[in-house]
A = this chain, B = another copy of it.
């Protein structure tokens, strides 16, 4: 699932950790020498680095600093392994820089949990570059909307509005929800602003404007298929 770089000079540790990681479906790369970490990190672009603080040649803290200084590796989360013998100040120093740390001896189970947590935290939220609903094509890359290949010129407000509606088609978006999403209004300002923009949007969409439905007292919605709207109970 993820690629993880394990840095430790004790082969036993590396093997133990690798075993557990692989069991969880991760790909493991390992290095035993501090000086080799940066080149290896650049080469393999791991999703996470498990870094022992005690290393031959160069200190783990130094390695960490170098990783952070290099634009190619600075975003990679690091979990530090420290020995109990380390002074508290040392640990505090690490704590500030690393994404997490663990004192030796540690249970593999705990390491796995922490790795899972860090990965989840750093996981990137992906979205569709293009969202298609029927003939509507929302191109987030170019910030544009087209219908059946025809570009519809929208203002930024209209674009935000339809983007919000299309994000959850066939679902009712309340007025306050839309006002919050598009205008950032916290309070339920009651004015004709939203209505007006809905109208402008519908006008620009021409015949397809009917995809934007109104539910009296409830809100608006983007209908993937145009149909009569029957109010549910209020």
Chain A residues proximal to chain B, CB less than 8 Å = 43-45, 47, 71-72, 74-75, 123-130, 132-135, 137, 140-141, 143, 148-150, 155-156, 159-160, 170, 224-225
Contact = CB atoms under 8 A, between A and B. Distances in A.
B123 A125 contact: no
A127 B141 contact: yes
A43 B148 contact: no
Contacts of A75: 132, 135, 137, 148-149
A71 B148 contact: yes
B143 A160 contact: yes
A72 B135 contact: yes
A77 to B, nearest CB: 11
Contact of A45 (B125, B143, B160, B224): B224
Give this chain's copy count: 2
A125 B165 CA distance: 20
A125 B135 contact: no
Contacts of A127: 126-129, 140-141
Contacts of A132: 47, 75, 123
A130 B125 CA distance: 7
Nearest to A123: B132
Contact of A130 (B45, B123, B155): B123
